Amino acid sequence: MSAALVFPGQGSQYVGMARDVFDAVPAARQTVRQADEVLGYKLSGLMFEGPEETLTETVHAQPAIFAASVALLRSLPSLPSGVAFVAGHSVGEYTALVAAEALAFADGLRLVQERGRLMQEAGSETRGGMLAVLGVSDEDIDQACAAVAPLIACAANYNAPGQTVISGEDRGLTEVMQALKAKGAKRVLRLKVSAAFHSPVMHAAAARLAEAIARVPIRAPRWPIIGNASARPLTSEADIREELSAQIAAPVRWEASVRWMVSAGVNRLIEIGPGKVLTGLAKRIDPAVGTVSVGDLASLLLC
């Protein structure tokens, strides 16, 4: 049996995440306290007590999800057997790098903090957001986005069949929403995010993030990492640096990433981190793939 470890991204955060594991498992407690020390503020307070609106801010949500996911990973009694690949959705890719021993936790946390800061800053410069779209084809989405040019609107997350996220500036999203409803979309929902992530709006942020990535030690991973941008294995330091630098302005090809792992023999996905978003997507992508979700103390004890 071949398995992949997968890690969630922004949107999976909630007040109280990983609190029960923090209280019960020394490794989780040490991880979260280290995060507080590295960042120089009480990230743990936001994770466990909120307020929700502050935790949801990109600059806080990303390091919080990263810290909670690593805390859960380190709390496992042992690594699951048969791991062949790791992958993470958007910021979850940084957790995947820590799991694969390609990136140290403290270095990853600093990068994620900077990533969140730059992405939030880009959102303040160009007002935009993201739309979750259900029930229309990727081709229809691409056509609707192309039709609003030169306004920015593009597919940002190819998550699962019939479930795609569009990113763009506000005026572009308004026009795309109307076009997709006319094409028969079952649902078009504005997401609670502060900016047009994984779109050209992030190009300047990506260039500045690349400078920070260049200063951080990165090693060849223990297991191949399936990159968001390429949906192919990353096995070298150079590949990983290129992926992380491009990722925030490029679409997340999650469906293609899961399908690639399945084609390589993976028949079990183990989601480690708050929520069960990736578990739900996996069932839509390939119902034959077994899934396990490790997001709290109860699920951890079942491992």
Torsion of CA 192, 198, 204, 206, to 10 degrees: 110
Work out the average pLDDT over 260-283.
97
State pLDDT tens for residues 17-35.
999 999 999 999 999 999 9
Q: Which of 12, 75, 90, 194 is catalytic?
A: 90
Domain borders along the chain are 2-123+200-301, 127-190
Q: Which of 198, 199, 230, 293 is catalytic?
A: 198
Give domain 127-190's CATH architecture.
2-Layer Sandwich (3.30)
Whether the predicted pLDDT of 261 surpasses 90: yes
State pLDDT tens for residues 212-246.
999 999 999 999 999 999 999 999 999 999 999 99
Specify the residue for token string 């997350």: 157
How many CB atoms lie under 10 A from the CB of residue 165? 23
pLDDT confidence tier of residue 301, bands split at 50, 70 and 90: confident
- Look up 194 and say whether it is catalytic: no
> pTM here?
0.96
- Look up 75 and say whether it is catalytic: no
Whether the predicted pLDDT of 302 surpasses 90: no
State pLDDT tens for residues 157-186.
999 999 999 999 999 999 999 999 888 888
130-162: buried (b, 16+ CB within 10 Å) or exposed (e) per residue? bbbbeebeeebbeebbeebeebbbbbbbbbbee
Whether the predicted pLDDT of 285 surpasses 80: yes
Most confident of 107-111, 131-135, 187-191: 107-111
CATH class of 2-123+200-301: alpha beta
Contacts of 225 (CB under 8 A, 6+ apart): 85, 86, 87, 88, 93, 96, 97, 100, 102, 233, 234, 235, 240, 243
